[in-house]
């Protein structure tokens, strides 16, 4: 229990587990890509970063509230910082937004508009990776993954399946199945929860505007071997 001063306003808290929840309780819209109250805190995207009265910046989703804290959620420094994060995420992201099945419903795209990111100054250094269309229910496009870890955590923590995990480090980090097996050969139960929690088009439902068939028809798109026959849902 205690009080935090947020943007000059005193806000009381009781048992909130992190500063982000209190900021939201105060009605302040703070951007996030990797935080979900149902999942463990990962602290990957850093978009929820705030600044305290000593100029210290920290991810509000990963910080426990303390009585007497004084924080600011939207300083000039934070605005620049968030814009740069979005630019960096876009730089490492396939930018086929006009043809993406998630266009118009993509959190990254929404944030790029919100923060007026009209130019990406950095090249996409990532090697193009094949789509996984082996599953009868979902399509995984690793080129659109922003490493928020939502799919990894929902699969493990909510569904108790755990077919996805992180591999490698730094700029080579990626989400994949064990030994990069096609999803159809794993214990995936086709629940679709990973798609629900994915903020971009990295995971789409097969019926999403027939993503699979579009992918198959594109000679420039490499796909992994199809193990199970795809089910076309009208
Ligand atoms: Fe806090 Fe992503 S929401 S780091």
- Ligand 1 near 143 CB (within 6 A): no
For the entire predicted model, the pTM comes to 0.86
**Residue 232 domain-assigned?**
no
Tens digits of residue pLDDT in 140-154? 999 999 999 999 999
For residues 34 and 45, is the Cβ–Cβ distance under 8 A?
yes
Structure tokens at 111: 């944030």
pLDDT for 219 equals 55
Q: What are phi and psi of 228, to 5 degrees?
A: -105, 145
- Ligand 1 near 85 CB (within 6 A): no
pLDDT over 90, % of the chain: 78
For residues 109 and 204, membership in a common domain is answered with yes
**Residue 229 domain-assigned?**
no
CA 95–ligand 1 middle distance (angstroms): 22
CA 145–ligand 1 middle distance (angstroms): 16
pLDDT grade for 220, boundaries at 50, 70 and 90? low
For residues 14 and 45, membership in a common domain is answered with yes
The helix (run of H) or strand (run of E) holding residue 113 is helix 107-114
Strands 57-59 vs 138-140: parallel, antiparallel or unpaired = unpaired
For residues 153 and 42, is the Cβ–Cβ distance under 8 A?
yes
- At residue 168's C-alpha, the angle toward residues 163 and 172, to 5°, is 115
Last residue of a domain, one of 48, 74, 100: 74
- Supply the mean pLDDT for the chain: 89
ipTM, interface predicted TM-score of the complex: 0.98
pLDDT for 95 equals 80
Range of the domain at 93: 87-217
pLDDT over 70, % of the chain: 88
- Ligand 1 near 48 CB (within 6 A): yes
**Residue 58 domain-assigned?**
yes
């Amino acid at each position: 229990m205690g009080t935090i001063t947020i943007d000059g306003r005193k806000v009381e808290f009781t048992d909130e587990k992190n500063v982000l929840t209190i900021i939201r309780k105060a009605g302040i819209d703070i951007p996030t890509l990797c935080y979900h109250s149902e999942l463990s805190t990962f602290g990957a995207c850093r978009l929820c970063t705030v600044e305290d009265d000593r100029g210290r910046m920290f991810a509000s989703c990963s910080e426990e509230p303390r009585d007497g804290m004084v924080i600011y959620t939207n300083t000039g420094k934070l605005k620049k910082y968030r814009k740069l994060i979005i630019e960096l995420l876009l730089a490492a992201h396939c930018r086929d937004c006009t043809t993406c099945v998630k266009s118009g419903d993509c959190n990254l795209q929404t944030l790029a508009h919100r923060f007026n990111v009209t130019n990406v100054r950095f090249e996409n250094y990532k090697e193009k990776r094949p789509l996984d269309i082996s599953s009868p229910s979902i399509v995984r496009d690793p080129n659109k993954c922003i490493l928020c870890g939502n799919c990894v955590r929902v699969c493990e923590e909510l569904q108790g399946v755990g077919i996805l995990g992180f591999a490698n480090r730094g700029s080579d980090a990626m989400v994949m199945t064990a030994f990069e097996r096609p999803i159809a050969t794993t214990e995936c139960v086709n629940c679709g929860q990973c798609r629900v929690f994915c903020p971009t088009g990295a995971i789409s439902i097969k019926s999403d505007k027939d993503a699979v068939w579009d992918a198959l028809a594109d000679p420039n798109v490499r796909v992994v071997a199809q193990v199970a026959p795809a089910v076309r849902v009208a």
